[in-house]
Chain A
């Protein structure tokens, strides 16, 4: 019997190793797997490469992970925010490495990783500072940049509900990076608010099929998660 449901956040994260590349879902406050990130801090893995759209807000989520000194490098599109002070200070002190990637390229690099595409050419970023040092090619008269797949060792994502096979559905714009990250990591861990019986999710509406999901862990809805960036 396949049962991807794990009893606790601790159990879900037990094998995350130092130096792992961790894809963390969320955009702004929506879709952030706050409980999983908190549990990763408690778990203690360090020297991590974090892939997220942002670089943390206030002192929650990725910002808390940064503050705890666990992050060697962050790969993101938009680190700057009114409340990104934790990242800002570490970056200015040279204590965290930044790989800045256009948002669509960030997402597509993870899609490529999940789809077995080693690299791809895209016009995004051509002729800009973000293409420096990258291979370029004119394709059909258009300048393109070679971008490599971005696989994760682990993906931490948030979905609304899931079943024991790992099928997931999301809620509104909290879906954001979840489905792509789920496909791009060797081990995908989804936190959900509700676990349902097999068959309860309409197969026409399943957004992430369970093949992409390694573990599902239930968390309680809380004000904090809703507000956490």
Chain B
């Protein structure tokens, strides 16, 4: 049977739907930023930005950019009514002190035990840069990863052991890929919400580590 992988936008929609009302959320740079576009309007969800913003709003209208109000990706944003500014150490205390409910980050690899590799390819000529990734990885109550299931060359990004340099050990709770949602549980990796047409056996075949089927296979 044939199946279609989810687009990045569709993965972002899934994640947005799973973020509960009243939560404090940090969306990592890159693909996770898309999640902001799909947050349900009837929920109050406060976005945190590492550079000192809670209640971050969408990009400003054309011509309204204020370069004193930017996000972690250094792009202009806005502030929701009721939002707050604070300094960097406070901002990272929110992250490191366990005050954020959810963070969504991209990844190069996630290991079966929840180890995360997302800051450095380890290539000798690469300039290493970590930013707030390690702080978020250990600090957020729920670390969700948003990534393609496979590398461009078809290798599983869910692995027994990360070969890329680690960002954090045993930190990932859930992985949203373009094929399924995978929860990191004490029993092992539990796969659910497989894309229509994808069988569990086929998902297992392309995934580098053993998966457990979930009872529920809700539609996307």
B28 within 8 Å of A (CB atoms) = no
CB interface residues, A 91-113, toward B, < 8 Å = 91-92, 98, 100-105, 107-108, 110-111
Task: Tell me which residues across on chain A come within 8 A of B132, comparing CB atoms.
Answer: 77, 102-104
Report the separation of the CA atoms of residues A98 and B133 in the bound assembly, to the nearest whole angstrom: 18
Q: Which of A91, A104, A180 contacts B87 (CB 8 A)?
A: A180
Q: Which of A27, A77, A173 contacts B129 (CB 8 A)?
A: A77
Q: Would you call A77 and B131 a contact (CB within 8 A)?
A: yes
Q: Which of B51, B88, B128, B167 contacts A180 (CB 8 A)?
A: B88
B213 within 8 Å of A (CB atoms) = no
Output the least CB separation between A58 and chain B (Å). Answer: 12
Q: Would you call B87 and A179 a contact (CB within 8 A)?
A: yes
A173-B96 contact given A78-B129, A124-B135, CB 8 Å threshold: no
A174 within 8 Å of B (CB atoms) = yes
A220 within 8 Å of B (CB atoms) = no
Q: Would you call A102 and B52 a contact (CB within 8 A)?
A: no
Q: Would you call A174 and B68 a contact (CB within 8 A)?
A: yes
Chain B interface size, as a band, is: 35 or more
Q: Would you call B127 and A176 a contact (CB within 8 A)?
A: no
If over half of A's interface residues share one DSSP class (helix, strand or loop), that class is named, otherwise mixed; here it is mixed
Report the separation of the CA atoms of residues A175 and B74 in the bound assembly, to the nearest whole angstrom: 14
Report the separation of the CA atoms of residues A226 and B67 in the bound assembly, to the nearest whole angstrom: 7
Task: Tell me which residues across on chain A come within 8 A of B53, comparing CB atoms.
Answer: 173
Please list 29 pairs of residues, one from A and one from B, whose beta carbons are closer than 8 Å in the complex, sorted by A's number.
A27-B51, A29-B67, A29-B70, A30-B51, A30-B67, A78-B129, A79-B128, A80-B127, A80-B129, A88-B127, A91-B127, A100-B128, A102-B135, A103-B50, A103-B92, A103-B130, A105-B134, A107-B88, A108-B92, A108-B96, A123-B138, A124-B139, A128-B167, A130-B130, A172-B66, A172-B68, A172-B69, A174-B68, A207-B87
